[in-house]
Structure 1
Amino acid sequence: MWMCISLRAPCANGTLRGLQVSRRCWRQQQPLAIKIARLSTASAVEGLDALSTSKRILYEQEQNRQRSLSDPEGFWMEAQRAIDWVQPPTRALDLPSDPAQLHKAVWFPDGKLNVCYNALDRHVAGGRANQTALIYDSPVTGVVRRYTYTELLHRAIQAATMLRRNGVRKGDRVLLYMGAVPEAIVTMLACARLGAMHSVVFGGFASAELAKRIDDCHPRVIVASSCGVEGIGKCVPYKPLLDAALKICKHLPQKIVVLQRPQLPATLNPGEESWQDAVDAIDDSALYSACEPVASNDPLYILYTSGTTGAPKGVVRPSGGHAVVLQYTMERMYACAPGQVYWAASDLGWILGHSYICYGPLLNGSTTVLYEGKPVDTPDPSAFYRVMAEHNVTTFFTAPTALMILRREDPHGAYRDQYDLSHVKAMFLAGERCLPEIQRWWLRHISGNANVNGAIQPITTPVRNVVSDNWWQTETGSPLTGIQVGLSEDGSKLPPIKYGSAGLPVQGVDLRILRIKDEFDEDSVVDANPEEAVPGEIGNIVVKLPLPPGIMNTLWNDEERFFTAYFRRFPGYYDTGDTGMVDSDGYVHILSRADDIINVAAHRISTGSIEEVVVEHPEIAEACVVARPHSIKGSVPVVIAVCKHHCQHVTKRQICEDLVTSIRDRVGPFVSLYPQNVVFVSRLPKTRSGKVLRKMIRSMIVYIMHNPTYSSSNCPIPTPATIEEEAVKYEVWDSVREWSAANPSSK
């Protein structure tokens, strides 16, 4: 084996400009060429040896993980004691006899519990009856409402009684079509109380997509809101969308209950009932207070993953393992103790809303914040800071996209400076990869520490204002990687933050990077002999089986798809669908989805490695990178950029030239970014969780390249069901058309 590693000269800030790794090896006299894409400074090169040059510390987080892998039985039997079981498990793990079925391992197989009891009843009985369980903060309606554990329990029992009266029993499904309102959490808990499965669909979801989910899960009852309030004075009628969905459904529910919101009440059809009449009016003497015990592997809920085409994938969450892991992570990962306040700024329809708005904080005896609003315009960029300060938030969780919006609207902290946030212990980011410059800006912004540079940020003592990225998926239900900030108040005992990384693998996660092979079609071919990548090499991120507790145990009504989508391609591993690398210090860098790798003249380049250089430009607020076909190089990148508000049109040509120079210098000339391949837009199209809809943009570019005479403003690309604001799609389409017309050479 021969290996050559060459590093370019350090930049002025002490980072490295580029990393070039070439490797040649021989196996059985057959050459194998390994191509490693050059990464930009923040993601992989910054501080590459910053930890390795000194004695490696085996932090408690890694000690716990190693024990969880070497002794899963002992480790998880200890962890499960934090949960109250109706029938405590006698063993942690039941492995199938057939190695090919290892993805069907069962956690706590003989245990029985009720998740609602663990989230509410035990806290009421255990001394938290008068503690605030839920804070509903809705700047769009001007309402702030608090519920104690006693009050939230009473509401959950009322909702369970309503469901019971309408025939809901253990194993039945209840579909929720609501916004960020307390009644949604109440209904979720009521379902768990009865052993029924809830399936939360975003309020305002398109009728056709809603109908697919109704027909897939066959809900006995649908609970909906009359409308959603998505801005000050802006209402979206939900009930007409539900009515339209039911007209095309093959399955019809037995009952529909509608929460009448005063902003836009709905007209009810015969047989439908308002929440106010069906739930609020239930007399205490008629309440059904029992909790239904369920087996550990019984489903808690169905959550459909987003998609633009085909049948939705209904991720099924096992009750016992999920409860154990959420309880475990609340204090260790997220540094939020019982009685403290946890705020995840998300929609209940996303996995973050399920895990860390509803279940995680309540299982832990914490106070959870349900926020109905946006980072800006409700009423201004101070919204997030106000909520953190007003409710004494200990732990805050949001998407990196929200930070990009705040950076655009409040770059110098004028709104931030109005609030005391010294009590905030930790802030976590997930949903998309957080670019290093955005992470640094947020830390400077929040902490007031202007000296936030370089590649690594040690955690202070005592632990305060930590800004940490972590990585997980709808399918996993809890983090696969991160920095477990809650393990110590002594910052020196915690792994430092590496900008651009998603931290270190956590308990139960045997994460590997498998080499990308040119000869395999990633959609259909099984790689029977996967090869592990070397540190720093980009590859497919997988997790070796068995998976830790709480990860999905099937797809609803589609066991075959469950296997083929996640376990067929790499036998013995869970295929995350993400690409990235693990550096020499063990930090995981999530770079992009597998289909966001651009192949430029045989160089594999992560779109994320280009994006993080782009957003460092002083005039760029946010950006995404997509591929466009090229007749010679296969693909070349196109930058879709949003300028800061003060940017003038006359400067855009200079911005394009600056970006080309930076990319050539920081990533490499082989990236082939040309000035004419920078497209300026006013906004990026995003999902309601803040993910940029790159596939839609990519489809627009491909379409206009193949149809250069198409000049209609009617975009031919289908609208993704998860898009937050459809108008943005047409704004981007117009920009792509203008770009294509102005740059005929780019075709």
Structure 2
Amino acid sequence: MPNYMQTYRKWQADPEAFWAVAAREIDWVEPASRVFDPGQGIYGRWFVGATCNTCWNCVDRHVASGRGDQTAVIHDSPVTGMKTSFTFTQVQAHVGALAHVLRAKGVTRGDRVIIYMPMVAEAIFAMLACARLGAVHSTVFGGFAAPELATRIDDARPKAIISASCGIERSRVIDYKALLDEALDLAVSSPDFCLILQRDAQVCDLTPGRDADYADLVGTALAQGHMAECVPVAATDPLYILYTSGTTGQPKGVVRDNGGHMVALKWSMRYHYGVEPGDVFWAASDIGWVVGHSYICYAPLLHGCTTVVYEGKPVGTPDAGAFWRVIQEHKVAALFAAPTAIRAVKKEDPDGHLVRRYDFSNFRTLFLAGERADTAVIEWAGRHIGRPVVNHWWQTETGWPMTGNPVGLGILPDKAGSTGVPMPGYDIRVLDDAGVQVAPGILGNIVCKLPLPPSSLPTLWNADDRFTNSYLSQFPGYYATSDAGVMDEDGYVHIMARTDDVINVAGHRLSTGAMEEVIASHPDVAECAVVGVADELKTELPLGLYVVRDGARTDTDQIEKELVALVRERIGAVAALRSAVKVDRLPKTRSGKILRGIIRAMANGEEWKVPAVIEDPAALPEINDALGARGMIRSATVSTD
């Protein structure tokens, strides 16, 4: 591993020098007086004293360097049948015009703007327009429930909200404006104004005195050639707030700064993802999630790539070949998707018939992240696509990969089930609950030695104490990821589960993720989940749920016996898996993460509630019924809070 090891050791030897070199890829208004200042912030701050503008680096500098005619943004919407492309020059005009409108209405540096939009190009323009003015955007997943949106409004206290009349999915139209109005009725804080993008699928009424038509105002500014200039901000100023779920029910506002964010993302595009300026990069996510922030909007444009904004699903828009069609049509070089998306494709096209219909000549790499990627889905994708499949791991809090297989440094030997090796900037350790480092191959708490690298959160929005208590207190000197796993003798990291998903079976700490890996390897299984259920004798016992692939056998009793035997064979009798229940679907968030905590609460008879982030609420009563039919549920109650 000469290229990777040489690079990682160079970072280890002198982190400040390493990131100072990486920072040369960014245009600065004023350079940093200190690359890293340990006396600033909670654990130190990067690029102290520097001033910059993220929008300039994403858009204007490409136009200024003569690349304005290159396509910057492709909007591909199978749910509406529309496809639109924008060059860097056109993006500059749209973003500059929107920034002019926002500035004319009083939005200035440091003001917050909430963006509550579907997957349209205007959502990217809105993020960039805020960055252009030095305003702090908080992009909320389009279609989020009104109470959740209201909570974010009250926490961020935005001067403006940019939204749309509706969102469009394959089987329904979601009334965004009604949700926004309800949220504003619930919230204590209120914006000065709202900009509403009217969509043909459903036009909404505007609230007099508060709402303005996006197309009217921005269209007029475009026609008149108005373009707000880029406002210099401190590298340590916040670029955005991204809310992630918190254990208390109050969402945590992850803060991302301007300078360190740009440096790390730009580095990651070339060295981790292995793409170059001019390549087409597609992150099949949503702008409401961190992947959408980092790798739909900012990183590709910083690097001079073309980015794809996809308004559709991996299946059903129109079929399980949707992703491959986009790759062929737009000459995608690299795709970043969640494992659950590939599982959905695999379930509907297990033999890869649809894959073979499309041209992959421009395609180089498939990247998976966002949840555990089992070996079965990685092997299926690699076999049918015929390209490297790179599993990697990172979090909302870090903003870019913590571990992976650095394609741009020369792809490393793959290890089944691993998320790869630590990226420069991350000194990853595995500790036991007492904070003592464990030996290679031993399950423990995954942590990262402080300081965190550029782009990682410096704090939570208006909640320094909560930041410290949530991430830094459990293991002093380290950032606690709340993930459990192992690091092997070669330095590869294996993320097995969230720490909440490590179960205690008769005194043995076992990973539910390891059991899921085994169950997912069964030829009839499309996807699965394992949770711990309370047991008087053994403390906890694992319970498996699985979904069969299309065309699988219908003898579920036999499949269950085979799954129990398979776990016993590969993990041992200590795993004590005795039940594997077939279900039609698993409850997931809209980003594809399985809601294991709710399944566990159901089986244990604990109170649970339908979360705002759920993709398909009907999956929950189906699982409740399936567990009840097997006598595996203890009168769980549903909270209406």
Aligned counterpart, 1:592: 497
Measured after TM superposition, the shift of residue 203 of structure 1 is 1.1
Aligned counterpart, 1:67: 10
Aligned counterpart, 2:464: 559
Q: Secondary structure at the match of 2:495?
A: strand
Q: How does 1:468-483 map to 2 (within 5 A)?
A: 468-483=390-405
Which deviations, in whole Å up to 9, do the C-alpha atoms of 1:419-463 show, x marking residues without a partner? 11132111110000111111111100101xxxxxxxxxxxxxxxx
Which deviations, in whole Å up to 9, do the C-alpha atoms of 1:95-123 show, x marking residues without a partner? 128xxx7x431111011100000000000
Whole-Å Cα distance in 2 between the matches of residues 405 and 616 of structure 1?
15
Aligned counterpart, 1:277: 216
Q: Secondary structure at the match of 2:569?
A: helix
Aligned counterpart, 2:370: 431
Q: Does 1:731 align with 2:635?
A: no
Evaluate the alpha carbon distance shift between residue 742 and residue 63 of structure 1 in structure 2; reply closer, same or farther with a 3 A threshold. Answer: closer
Whole-Å Cα distance in 1 between the matches of residues 52 and 114 of structure 2?
23
Q: Which residues of structure 2 form unaligned runs of 5+?
A: 636-641
Q: Secondary structure at the match of 1:368?
A: strand
Measured after TM superposition, the shift of residue 308 of structure 1 is 7.4
Q: Does 1:186 align with 2:125?
A: yes
Which deviations, in whole Å up to 9, do the C-alpha atoms of 1:324-378 show, x marking residues without a partner? 0111011111111000100000000000000000000000001000100000000
The percent identity for this pair of structures is 48
Counterpart amino acid of residue 511 in structure 1: I
Q: How does 1:435-474 map to 2 (within 5 A)?
A: 435-447=374-386, 465-474=387-396
User: What TM-score comes out, normalization by structure 1 length?
Assistant: 0.83
Counterpart amino acid of residue 572 in structure 1: G
RMSD: 1.5
Q: How does 1:135-534 map to 2 (within 5 A)?
A: 135-231=74-170, 233-271=171-209, 272-285=211-224, 287-307=226-246, 310-447=249-386, 465-488=387-410, 494-517=411-434, 530-534=435-439
Q: Secondary structure at the match of 1:555?
A: coil
Contact 2:165/2:197 (<8 A) preserved: yes
Whole-Å Cα distance in 2 between the matches of residues 311 and 391 of structure 1?
40
Contact 1:614/1:623 (<8 A) preserved: yes
Counterpart amino acid of residue 572 in structure 2: G
Aligned counterpart, 2:564: 660
Contact 2:459/2:467 (<8 A) preserved: yes
Whole-Å Cα distance in 1 between the matches of residues 632 and 34 of structure 2?
65
Whole-Å Cα distance in 2 between the matches of residues 402 and 734 of structure 1?
26
Whole-Å Cα distance in 2 between the matches of residues 128 and 435 of structure 1?
41
Q: How does 1:692-707 map to 2 (within 5 A)?
A: 692-703=594-605
Q: Secondary structure at the match of 1:128?
A: coil
Aligned counterpart, 2:639: none
Which deviations, in whole Å up to 9, do the C-alpha atoms of 1:558-582 show, x marking residues without a partner? 1100000000111000001101111
Contact 2:36/2:44 (<8 A) preserved: yes
Contact 1:62/1:506 (<8 A) preserved: no
Aligned counterpart, 2:638: none
Which deviations, in whole Å up to 9, do the C-alpha atoms of 1:538-562 show, x marking residues without a partner? 1100000111111011100111000
Measured after TM superposition, the shift of residue 286 of structure 1 is 6.3
Whole-Å Cα distance in 1 between the matches of residues 13 and 469 of structure 2?
28
Q: How does 1:2-81 map to 2 (within 5 A)?
A: 58-81=1-24
Measured after TM superposition, the shift of residue 648 of structure 1 is 4.7
Q: Which residues of structure 1 form unaligned runs of 5+?
A: 1-57, 448-464, 489-493, 518-529, 707-715
Whole-Å Cα distance in 2 between the matches of residues 725 and 243 of structure 1?
23
Measured after TM superposition, the shift of residue 59 of structure 1 is 2.5
Whole-Å Cα distance in 1 between the matches of residues 74 and 632 of structure 2?
51
Aligned counterpart, 1:550: 455
Whole-Å Cα distance in 1 between the matches of residues 526 and 616 of structure 2?
19
Whole-Å Cα distance in 2 between the matches of residues 578 and 554 of structure 1?
19
Evaluate the alpha carbon distance shift between residue 509 and residue 285 of structure 1 in structure 2; reply closer, same or farther with a 3 A threshold. Answer: same
Q: Secondary structure at the match of 1:202?
A: coil
Counterpart amino acid of residue 228 in structure 1: G
Evaluate the alpha carbon distance shift between residue 283 and residue 468 of structure 1 in structure 2; reply closer, same or farther with a 3 A threshold. Answer: closer
Measured after TM superposition, the shift of residue 92 of structure 1 is 1.2
Evaluate the alpha carbon distance shift between residue 477 and residue 743 of structure 1 in structure 2; reply closer, same or farther with a 3 A threshold. Answer: closer
Whole-Å Cα distance in 2 between the matches of residues 245 and 198 of structure 1?
18
Whole-Å Cα distance in 1 between the matches of residues 594 and 447 of structure 2?
23
Q: Secondary structure at the match of 1:92?
A: strand
Which deviations, in whole Å up to 9, do the C-alpha atoms of 1:202-236 show, x marking residues without a partner? 111011111000000001001111111111x5211
Measured after TM superposition, the shift of residue 283 of structure 1 is 4.9
Counterpart amino acid of residue 736 in structure 1: L
Whole-Å Cα distance in 2 between the matches of residues 741 and 659 of structure 1?
18
Contact 1:397/1:428 (<8 A) preserved: yes
Whole-Å Cα distance in 2 between the matches of residues 501 and 316 of structure 1?
29
Whole-Å Cα distance in 2 between the matches of residues 476 and 406 of structure 1?
29
Counterpart amino acid of residue 487 in structure 2: V
Measured after TM superposition, the shift of residue 717 of structure 1 is 2.4
Contact 2:290/2:399 (<8 A) preserved: yes
Q: Secondary structure at the match of 1:626?
A: strand
Whole-Å Cα distance in 2 between the matches of residues 344 and 437 of structure 1?
22
